[in-house]
Structure 1
Amino acid sequence: MSGQGKGTRHSDLSHAGYTSSGIVKDSVGAAMMSHADRSGSGKDVVSALQSAGARDQSISGSDMNRSDLDSAGLTRSGVTKGSGGANMMSNVDKSESGDGMKACLQSMGAKK
C-alpha cells in the first residue's frame, strides 16, 4: 500500500460515527456529512467512509482517489483552510473522537 496513505480500522470509523446502523447523530461523521452537503465538496469522501462503516470494514488509500481527497481539502500540501477536512479536524479535536480516522485521512491526502 506504499504511497496510498495508511488505512484506518473499522473501529476508528465507528468511533467517528460511521457505523453499520448509519451515521450517528451529533458525531464527527454527521458533522462531516452536513459540511459536505452545505459546501458541495467532499461528498465522495463522506460516501466512502459511510460505505466502509456500513459494511463494518476498514478503509485505505486505495478506496479514495486524488480528486475526491482534494475536493475535501485533504491535499498533498496539507489541509485547506475552511474545507471539509479542516472542519473534520476541528470537530475531532473538540469531541475527542475520531482521531484514528483524522490521521488516516490526513495521511491519504498527503501521500496518495
Structure 2
Amino acid sequence: VHGVSAATAALLGLVGLGALLHEPVLIPPLAASAALVHCAPALPLAQPRSVVVGHLLGAAAGYAAGAAASGSAWAAALAAGVTLALTTLARTPHSPACATSVVIVL
C-alpha cells in the first residue's frame, strides 16, 4: 500500500507541476515508469539510473527526430529505435523511455 501511495503521489505531483506550468507534464510513459518501479522494483528496468537516464535519452532522441521530421510516424519509429539503442549502450534499460521519444515526435 505504501508503494501505491508513493507512486500515486509522484503522479499527482506531475499533474500539479503541469498545472503550474500550463503544460502537460504527466505523459503516459511516466505513468508506466511509476507502475514499473512500484510493481517490480528489483528489475534493472526499474532502477533510478535507468528511469532517469532512459527518459533523458528518449527525450533527446525524440527532439532530434522531431526536428528532422516533425510529426512523422517514420520519425517516431526511428526515435524509439534510437532510444532503444542508446539505452542499451548506456546500460540503462527502460522500455517506457522508448515511448517518451514517440510522444515527443508525435
After TM superposition, the score normalised by the length of structure 1 is: 0.32
Say which one has the larger Rg. 2
Higher relative contact order (CA 8 A, sep 6+): 1
The answer to which structure has the higher strand fraction is 1
